């Protein structure tokens, strides 16, 4: 309502000035079209040749930079993962080799101990055998001597008790019969 | 005359020029076209001159407007539509800045003249028609023949499609022009009420508060409309370009 009254009121004024409502005045069209073509043409040229390539360049550089940084971060992450894996691997290996070293040295020590024990046992057995042999010899010798002593004693006893003498061969025979 | 809401659309010849009987004077409209173009181009060039990896505030503004139009065009016309990016970007920025400059008191609103908006919309439709035939040949006419329509209805549908296509430049230009014109007239009328009511004495000054509030509110609305109409123009441009790229719908 306000607008229409205002419109009506001013229509006259406008008509008074040029006779037509200015936006619909065809006499101004050529000038407006020409200047629009010039200004918009220049604007289009500036936008398409300067501003748009520049902004798309800026955005492209930024996108590339972000992509590159992300790639770099990814690469570094992979590197650190690899280093971690290598570390784990080496740790496992070290643990395994420590274990095997321990095992080897334990085995070796055991083997050496066994060997030593075997050697000393053999030596001891040898000594034991030698001693037994010596004991046997000594015993035999002693027994032999016992026979002699017995014979002598028998001869002496017989001489003392019976008087007279018995041949040595007979005595030996009798002693042997008793002791054997 | 100060209260005349039409006065703001009056063209004044600043530098009268006449070639072969045709008036091509440099008018206040021409001046504001130059101002719009110069200010926008200067701002965008200056804002992006740093080429900062981390944008400054102004560079960020330039990048935002670029990405705003780019995503609008990509959504509307697909990635092939990006070859029209300079045109859509120029149109959007030109109309937006011209509309916003129109909001300054005493500034001329370039887009409030039907011939200007009609020329811009003819640029769009002309591009659509020329590129549509260039790319699709006669297949561009499939635009008027929707698929899956019974043969009986075909003539009617084709007629409707043709009329709707022809009315596009008209609706595109009238929408922008009428919004700018009506908005500015309304603003001027309400502002005029403030002045005329104030002339009626104390009571008038008291009542004048109401149209003053209205003027303030309308100013806010007009800033919205200034942006919205530039946006609508650009979005419709993208949709029409999509028809040129993919005529069969």
CB contact under 8 A, B112 and A13: no
pLDDT tens figures, B191-217? 988 888 888 888 888 888 899 999 999
CB contact under 8 A, A31 and B23: yes
Query: In chain A, which residue's Cα lies nearest the Cα of B28?
Result: A32
List the single range of A132-146, B61-75, B120-134 with lowest mean pLDDT.
A132-146
Q: Which of A30, A35, A48, A53 to mutate to test the interface with B (most CBs of B within 10 A)?
A: A35
- pLDDT tops 60 at residue A3: no
Query: In chain A, which residue's Cα lies nearest the Cα of B60?
Result: A55
Give the nearest partner residue to A32 out of B5, B86, B116, using CB atoms. B116
For residue A18, the model assigns a pLDDT of 53
- pLDDT tops 60 at residue A9: no
For residue A81, the model assigns a pLDDT of 96
Give the nearest partner residue to B33 out of A23, A39, A52, using CB atoms. A39
CB contact under 8 A, A33 and B53: no
For residue B249, the model assigns a pLDDT of 60
Report yes or no: A151 and A165 within 8 Å, Cβ to Cβ.
no
| Interval B18-34 mean pLDDT | 88
How far is the C-alpha of B204 from the C-alpha of B206, rounded, in Å? Answer: 5
Give B116 to chain A, closest Cα distance, Å.
7
CB contact under 8 A, A36 and B11: no
For residue A12, the model assigns a pLDDT of 45
- pLDDT tops 50 at residue A15: no
For residue B101, the model assigns a pLDDT of 94
Percent share of chain A, pLDDT over 90: 57
For residue A121, the model assigns a pLDDT of 92
List the single range of A80-84, A102-106, A144-148, B91-95 with lowest mean pLDDT.
A144-148
pLDDT tens figures, B167-181? 999 999 999 999 999
For residue A45, the model assigns a pLDDT of 96
- Mean of per-residue pLDDT scores for chain A: 85
For residue B129, the model assigns a pLDDT of 93
- Mean of per-residue pLDDT scores for chain B: 90
How far is the C-alpha of B170 from the C-alpha of B128, rounded, in Å? Answer: 15
Asked if the C-beta of A15 comes within 8 angstroms of chain B's C-beta atoms, the answer is: no
How far is the C-alpha of B39 from the C-alpha of B141, rounded, in Å? Answer: 41
Helices B154-198 and B202-245: angle between axes, nearest 10 degrees: 160
Q: Which of A14, A27, A51, A61 to mutate to test the interface with B (most CBs of B within 10 A)?
A: A51
Give A80 to chain B, closest Cα distance, Å.
29
SS3 per residue for chain B: CCCCCCHHHCCCEEECCEECCEECCEEHHHHHHHHHHHHHHHHHHHHCCCCCCCCCHHHHHHHHHHHHHHHHHHHHHCHHHHHHHHHHHHHHHHHHHHHHHHCCCCCCCHHHCHHHHHHHHHHHHHHHHHHHHHHHHHHHHHHHCCCCCCCCCHHHHHHHHHHHHHHHHHHHHHHHHHHHHHHHHHHHHHHHHHHHHHCCCHHHHHHHHHHHHHHHHHHHHHHHHHHHHHHHHHHHHHHHHHHHHCCCC
Task: Name the band, by pLDDT with cuts 50, 70 and 90, for residue B116.
Answer: very high
**In sequence order, what DSSP letters do the residues of A99-124 get, joined into one string?**
HHHHHHHHHHHHHHHHHHHHHHHHHH
For residue B100, the model assigns a pLDDT of 95
| Interval A23-45 mean pLDDT | 91
CB contact under 8 A, B62 and A22: no
Query: In chain B, which residue's Cα lies nearest the Cα of A60?
Result: B53
Residues in B touching A44 (Cβ below 8 Å): 86-87, 90
Residues in A touching B111 (Cβ below 8 Å): none
Give the nearest partner residue to B37 out of A7, A21, A42, using CB atoms. A42
Give the nearest partner residue to A61 out of B53, B119, B123, using CB atoms. B53
Q: Which of B17, B48, B70, B83 to mutate to test the interface with A (most CBs of A within 10 A)?
A: B48
Q: Enumerate the domain spans of chain B.
A: 7-245
Residues in B touching A52 (Cβ below 8 Å): 66, 85-86, 89
Query: In chain B, which residue's Cα lies nearest the Cα of A23?
Result: B113
Asked if the C-beta of A45 comes within 8 angstroms of chain B's C-beta atoms, the answer is: no
Report yes or no: B114 and B175 within 8 Å, Cβ to Cβ.
no
pLDDT tens figures, A60-116? 999 999 999 999 999 999 999 999 999 999 999 999 999 999 999 999 999 999 999
Compute chain B's Rg from CA coordinates. 22
| Interval B213-222 mean pLDDT | 94
Task: Name the band, by pLDDT with cuts 50, 70 and 90, for residue A19.
Answer: low
Give the nearest partner residue to A50 out of B45, B113, B123, using CB atoms. B45
Nearest to B234 by CA among B120, B113, B140: B120
Task: Name the band, by pLDDT with cuts 50, 70 and 90, for residue B4.
Answer: confident
For residue A171, the model assigns a pLDDT of 77
Give A36 to chain B, closest Cα distance, Å.
7
Task: Name the band, by pLDDT with cuts 50, 70 and 90, for residue A16.
Answer: very low
């Amino acid at each position: 309502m306000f607008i229409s009254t205002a419109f009506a009121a001013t229509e006259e004024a406008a008509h008074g000035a040029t006779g037509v409502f200015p936006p619909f005045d065809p006499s101004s069209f050529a000038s407006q079209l020409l200047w629009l073509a010039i200004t918009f043409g220049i604007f289009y040229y500036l936008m398409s040749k300067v501003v748009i390539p520049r902004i798309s360049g800026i955005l492209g550089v930024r996108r590339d930079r972000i992509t590159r940084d992300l790639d770099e971060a990814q690469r570094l992450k992979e590197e650190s993962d690899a280093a971690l894996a290598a570390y784990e691997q080496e740790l496992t290996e070290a643990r395994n080799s420590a274990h095997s070293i321990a095992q080897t040295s334990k085995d070796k020590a055991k083997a050496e101990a066994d060997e030593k024990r075997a050697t000393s046992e053999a030596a001891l057995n040898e000594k034991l055998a030698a001693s037994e042999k010596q004991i046997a010899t000594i015993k035999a010798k002693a027994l032999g001597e016992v026979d002699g002593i017995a014979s002598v004693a028998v001869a002496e006893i017989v001489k003392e008790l019976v008087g007279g003498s018995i041949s040595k061969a007979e005595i030996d025979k009798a002693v042997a019969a008793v002791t054997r | 005359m100060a209260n005349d809401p039409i006065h703001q659309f009056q063209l004044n010849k600043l530098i009268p020029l006449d070639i072969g009987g045709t008036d091509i004077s440099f008018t206040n409209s021409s001046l504001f076209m130059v101002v719009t173009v110069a200010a926008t181009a200067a701002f965008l060039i200056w804002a992006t001159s740093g080429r900062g990896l981390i944008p400054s505030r102004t560079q960020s503004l330039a990048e935002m407007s670029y990405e705003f139009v780019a995503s609008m065009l990509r959504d509307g016309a697909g990635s092939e539509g990006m070859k029209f990016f300079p045109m859509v970007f120029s149109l959007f920025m030109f109309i937006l800045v011209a509309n916003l400059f129109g909001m300054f008191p005493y500034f001329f609103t370039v887009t409030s003249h039907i011939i200007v908006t009609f020329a811009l919309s003819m640029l769009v439709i002309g591009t659509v028609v020329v590129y549509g035939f260039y790319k699709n040949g006669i297949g561009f006419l499939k635009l008027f023949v929707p698929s899956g329509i019974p043969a009986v209805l075909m003539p009617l549908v084709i007629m409707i499609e043709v009329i709707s296509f022809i009315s596009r430049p008209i609706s595109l230009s009238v929408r922008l022009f009428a919004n700018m014109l009506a908005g500015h007239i309304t603003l001027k009328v309400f502002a005029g009420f403030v002045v005329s009511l104030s002339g009626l004495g104390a009571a008038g000054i008291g009542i004048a508060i109401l149209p003053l509030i209205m003027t303030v509110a309308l100013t806010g609305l007009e800033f919205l409309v200034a942006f919205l109409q530039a946006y609508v123009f650009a979005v419709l441009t993208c949709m029409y370009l999509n028809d040129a790229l993919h005529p069969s719908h």
